[in-house]
Structure 1
Amino acid sequence: MKGSTAYKSIQKRGLHIGLLPEMAAAVNGSTPITLDHDLDIFPGAGRHLTVAEYAEHVDDLAGRLWAAGVRPDERVVLYKRANADLWMLAAAASRIGAVPVNLSPALDAATVAALLKRVDHPTLVTDEPKLGLLKEVPLADLTARVITASGEWPGTQSLAALAGSPRVAPVVRPIDEAAVITHTSGTTGIPKLVVHTPRTQGRRLIPQRRLLSLIRKRETAAIHIPFVHSRMVAAMTLALLKEWPVLLLRESDPADVAEQFARHRPAFVEALPNSLMEWEELAEDPRRPFASVKVFSSTFDAIHPRTMSRLLKASDRRGALFFQIYGQSEVGPAVGRAYFRNSAHKANGRCVGWAMPRGAAKIRVVGRNGKTPSEKNPGFIEVAWDGLAKTYFAEQDRYDTNRNGHWWRTGDVGYRTRLGCLHMLDREVDMIPGVRSSLEVEDVVLSKLSELSELVVVQGPNSEPVPVICTVDDKPLDAGRWRAAVAAFPQLADPVQIPQAELPRTATLKVQRLALAARFAQRPGERA
């Protein structure tokens, strides 16, 4: 089977992640998958797999889940420590017709308990560390069964003990029924559970496949995305069907990343924006870990021009570009924009891109107050296409409040230029009186102060815009340099400096701005 044939099949029948490993093995079973960590479920498998071995492991796990009692249409919650086997477990559950519910390992016990209750007596696949964390949660009341992916625990079934279970024929779910459930970032409270179908997952491949066509040769793709995120579905599918060697990264420490990149020389890198910010320092690394990169790609959150510029200048590839995708779990990739080596540093970071043609999402901006949306009067950003998530699990009313016919209201505000570029200024809930765009302030100031590792503008207790800053190695910030950098923003209050480790973050490393603002209101902290 050719990758193009497999892709056409997905567009016709939908993307079923339980069938993907077998499909990818039929395209090229020898394609390598390299990990920077050991698998918890298969500790003896090593860190170098082929796609054929990967497919075999998924088939094996599907048989074990069936032997444990999991059946089609059941929901299987995956909550264990971060590991690439989370993706394998999701594929295995899908392969027998169950619906994987992917929960971030970063979620706390109270949040997990709330989501288990919402999902209504699912099977829980977890591990010893997480069971220890959940020791006060009444799992017997909230779940149908608990399965340990590694280790053993009283009252649970062990996947290891089910090794050698008979293989099971795959079960294909209907194209418009739930296939995978992931959750939102939870920046404003308990995360919502987003329901994806085979059709919606397949459609989301369209714009990204065109991006990957920029790399003609079979070169390594390095992927640093949470293994439970909906983005992982598209990233793994496209890389495997293009027969690209895949480097799956769990670790984000710059020293580890530099070693992996220097060894494997990826041509394509997709990572979280905050991880890319952390990796900026590698632009000066003598091993030149980014020298081979042709395309950097990121989504999830705003990324600053300074970061894009430093990474692109560290590449030796002709025509290297940074492709930013604007979207969210509910809509997938909505718009995109390419940034280039010689211009990224002066780009307007609020211009997140243009609608992508031929079968991709449509975008519009709707007035908030009856007036035409503009730069001075931003409106609500809305997206429409058949890649929209189907619903929020067990919260249909909440989903319906954001849905208007074919259009989905993202919760962001912005405007479109005469040339059609979408400018995203802020989340509606993060807007601050007197500030056009907190994200714009952050873009500008970060570009002027290389000693800043993070800057987040939040609303203070008196509605004033308060810049919360973190510096490289938590060094004190020079007050004079700060005043010069923010001269164009006289409305800003004095900055509050905190250690970067104290920033409240989501599972995808987004800063929880409302939580940060609330904590600041309670305890001012250290003044710079």
Structure 2
Amino acid sequence: MGTLFDDCASRGGATLVRLDRPFDLPGTGATTYDLAQLAALVEETAGWLAAAGVRARHRVAIVKDNHWDYDLLACAAVRLGAVPAQLSAHLAAEPLGTLLDRLRPRLLVTTAALLARHRAAGVDPARLAARTVLLDGTAQGATSVDELRGARAPGPRRRCPDEPLVINHTSGTTGVPKLVVHSTRTIIHKLARFEAFRYPRIGVRRDDTVVNASSYAHGRTFCWTASVFCLAPKEIAVLTGTDPEAADLFLRAHPPTVLEALPSVYGRLAPLTRRLDQPFHRVRLFVSTYDAVHPPTLRAFLGATRRRGAVWMQGWGQTETGPLTFRFHTRRALRRADAAAAAGDPGHDGTPGGASDRGGAAGGGAAGGTWWSGGGQDARDLGRPVPFKTRLRVVDPVTFAPLPPGRAGLLLARTAARAPTYLGERERWLAKDRDGWWNTGDIGVRDRSGTIRLLDREVDHTPGTSCLQLEDLLEDRLPWLRECVVLTPPGQEPVPVLVTDDGAFDRADYKRAVADLPPLAEPVVRAEDSIPRTGTGKVRRHALLEQLTGRRDTAGSGRWT
């Protein structure tokens, strides 16, 4: 990774990178880069990192505004033999302080604004690192990057494939994120190399314009960076903001043929699909990870492209493991699923007649019933394990005995791509390992064909129901909803939180939508900007539950979060 762009350029790659705004790195005002310029930027960055005292095996913490230069900084640290730790600027002061305390980095790379914000909140990140360098401005106890620029970078250093390569944190929906340590063998040899192949229909081609709109502090984009440049598309466009109007201009200037985005970003950009001059008409492949994309969003984007045979590839996995399953959605499948649901097909998506295979007996209770039929493509159907790469089993949460198809339980995964450890939480890591099987902490159901349906995180799960399925159903039935979040206070009926643009909703419409669903508590209506989220746009469910009820206890045990 330290010489990625040099290597791609030497093999004749001609990829151009387009940015929606300049990098936050010093001296960079351009919004277009070729491979040679990226290689030079990484080498220059490695020079000032070395001048700041970074050496082999040192940890370099990176906390800054969202941009793809997270990965350029990481590549520069890797070039020196150091270990970059990419931390999201969305982290609040307390969890950021906890992660930095575990890291104890030789160098912290951040910004003056972020440092000031956390100091005002009572946490001084600079005190948790041996040295702090600011990419902009000045502050007490920190060095301006301008004092270090111009230093010559030492030659690239190689490392053993099993030594730490990069540290990324998990989403943190249930508390302080974990620090996941990946090696070259796991994240590059097992994950990135698997992606760096021109698979029929879903592989990146040389004439593609690949657009990414992600949270660049997370491990998914580090892996993506490693693979996509090896595939040498014509153009890569990086979107950092989520404002639909600004994104519209950028996307129309660089219309994608391959689009990967966070589920939350897809949701934000969905209104653009309804415009006559919309920017998605050339997309042949949509990619989503981190979380399921709700059925109305799937329909909107697949309906917007004019490419025949367009595919939506939905991956499910974790920072610790990489992708574990893939599911493919197409326009034809959407139409077929919608028609089957409208006709009351008894074998469709968990309705009576199909419940034994499709999850009707959640947690041993009778979820059954017609409410599990979403009226369309089921986004919680995760597909099957990645062929030749991963194995999955469903086990009883108490005894860990394997469960037959149709019975809900904990999902365990086995993959050679699993990261070696959590930094500073080895016992927590070992508690999730069971004879080589990784406890994902998710509750799901496997049908007889091997397809996995996700029900909930174990910490949120109430036997006999599925918050995630309820959310999909309500979003499908109530088009005016921005999002629905179903919370599970222990011993109480699930609480639907209805997220709308203005904090208002149609009660009569809602009553019709829930008439055939399990009993729910009185809905809570909230505006979008009041919902606590992670850097990847996931709802911080426990923070929201505490905000609404003052309670911190959970429906599940939370032993494997």
Task: Pick from 285, 290, 303 the counterpart of residue 293 of structure 2.
Answer: 303
Aligned residues: 504
Letter paired with 1:91: C
Alpha-carbon distance, 1:363 to partner:
1.6
Alpha-carbon distance, 1:372 to partner:
5.3
Question: Equivalents in 2 of 1:140, 1:254: separation in Å?
Answer: 35
| Other-structure match for 1:314 | 304
Q: Deviations over 1:325-355 (max 9, x none)?
A: 0101011000001000132352222211111
| Other-structure match for 1:7 | none
Moved more, 449-458 or 184-193: 184-193
Q: Do structure 1's residue 393 and structure 2's residue 377 form an aligned pair?
A: no
| Other-structure match for 2:78 | 94
Question: Equivalents in 1 of 2:91, 2:11: separation in Å?
Answer: 36
Question: Equivalents in 1 of 2:48, 2:115: separation in Å?
Answer: 20
In the superposition, the TM-score normalised over structure 1's length comes to 0.91
Task: Pick from 388, 394, 400 the counterpart of residue 365 of structure 1.
Answer: 394
Question: Equivalents in 2 of 1:40, 1:121: separation in Å?
Answer: 21
| Other-structure match for 1:284 | 274
Matches within 5 A, 1:398-409: 398-409=428-439
Contact 1:101/1:180 (8 A) holds in 2? yes
Q: Do structure 1's residue 83 and structure 2's residue 67 form an aligned pair?
A: yes
Letter paired with 1:493: A
Alpha-carbon distance, 1:150 to partner:
2.3
Task: Pick from 172, 181, 203 the counterpart of residue 195 of structure 1.
Answer: 181
Question: Equivalents in 1 of 2:520, 2:27: separation in Å?
Answer: 52
SS in 1 for 2:164: coil
Q: Deviations over 1:57-100 (max 9, x none)?
A: 00111011111111100000001222332221111111101100
Percent identical among aligned pairs is 36
Q: Do structure 1's residue 457 and structure 2's residue 468 form an aligned pair?
A: no
Matches within 5 A, 1:426-465: 426-434=456-464, 436-460=465-489, 462-465=491-494
| Other-structure match for 2:225 | 236
Task: Pick from 509, 514, 517 the counterpart of residue 537 of structure 2.
Answer: 509
Moved more, 259-268 or 473-482: 473-482
Question: Equivalents in 2 of 1:475, 1:104: separation in Å?
Answer: 28
Contact 1:77/1:102 (8 A) holds in 2? yes
Alpha-carbon distance, 1:206 to partner:
4.9
| Other-structure match for 1:466 | 495
**Structure 2 stretches lacking a partner, 5+ long:** 339-375, 552-561
SS in 2 for 1:76: strand
| Other-structure match for 2:331 | 341
Alpha-carbon distance, 1:133 to partner:
1.7
| Other-structure match for 2:356 | none
Query: Relative to 1, partners in 2 of residues 1:141 and 1:288: Cα closer, same or farther, differing over 3 Å?
Result: closer
SS in 1 for 2:88: coil
In the superposition, the TM-score normalised over structure 2's length comes to 0.86
Query: Relative to 1, partners in 2 of residues 1:307 and 1:482: Cα closer, same or farther, differing over 3 Å?
Result: same
Query: Relative to 1, partners in 2 of residues 1:207 and 1:355: Cα closer, same or farther, differing over 3 Å?
Result: farther
Question: Equivalents in 2 of 1:368, 1:342: separation in Å?
Answer: 37
Alpha-carbon distance, 1:252 to partner:
1.1
| Other-structure match for 1:34 | 18
Matches within 5 A, 1:348-359: 348-358=378-388
Alpha-carbon distance, 1:152 to partner:
2.4
| Other-structure match for 2:145 | 159
Contact 1:374/1:415 (8 A) holds in 2? no
Alpha-carbon distance, 1:475 to partner:
5.6
Question: Equivalents in 1 of 2:526, 2:11: separation in Å?
Answer: 50
SS in 2 for 1:337: strand
Moved more, 329-338 or 33-42: 33-42
Contact 2:393/2:402 (8 A) holds in 1? no
| Other-structure match for 1:181 | 167
Alpha-carbon distance, 1:139 to partner:
4.7
Alpha-carbon distance, 1:218 to partner:
1.8
Question: Equivalents in 1 of 2:126, 2:240: separation in Å?
Answer: 31
Q: Do structure 1's residue 412 and structure 2's residue 442 form an aligned pair?
A: yes
Alpha-carbon distance, 1:460 to partner:
3.6
Contact 2:205/2:231 (8 A) holds in 1? no
Contact 2:54/2:106 (8 A) holds in 1? no
